[in-house]
Amino acid sequence: MLGELEKSEKAALSIAVGFLLFFFGLLVYAAKGMNIDVPTCITDVKPFTEGRVIQHSPDRYEVHYLAYMWAFDPMEIEVPKGATVDFYLTSKDVIHGMHIEKTNVNMMAIPGTVAYARYTFTKPGEYRVICHEYCGIGHQDMMAKIIVK
Ligand code: CUA
């Protein structure tokens, strides 16, 4: 009980709690400051069976990536510089990974679930979409491409 603690124990507890709050604050600050979107496993989108690109406005896109052995559908997409893209990802067969190089988009493609991440492409160029979860003999060739114009 708190009342029976030594002064030094109380001090140690306060310091520990202080540190916890401080580091939690740092985490929140870093996530906000670096504009990190934590990938989420969402439940309100049903797993889909084919890839899709939907353009909502000149700079808003929605991409449904279907991962399968050993490719992504769609294989190649093109968006304008500055476009914000909502990525939805699922798998048709086994567990795959999906990393968009030069970005912080990094998700798992798990059959029966849909992962989500958002990214704004501020720099033009070619971005490879890479499977980073070993998924069989064709794993190292499993990639797609995003072209930002
Ligand atoms: Cu799919 Cu590795």
> In a 10 Å sphere around its CB, with 0-12 CB exposed, 13-18 middle and 19+ buried, how is residue 116 labelled?
middle
As for ligand 1, residues whose beta carbon falls within 6 Å of it are: 70, 96, 131, 133-135, 139, 142
Q: Which atom of ligand 1 approaches the CA of 67 most closely?
A: 1
- For 48, the token pair is 């889909």
The reported pTM is 0.75
- Ligand 1, atom 1: closest residue by C-alpha: 96
- Residue from 71, 72, 135 nearest 63 by CA: 72
As averages over each run of 10 residues, the pLDDT of the chain (149 residues) reads 76 90 83 67 78 96 97 97 96 97 95 94 97 97 97
The pLDDT assigned to 68 comes to 97
The pLDDT assigned to 44 comes to 72
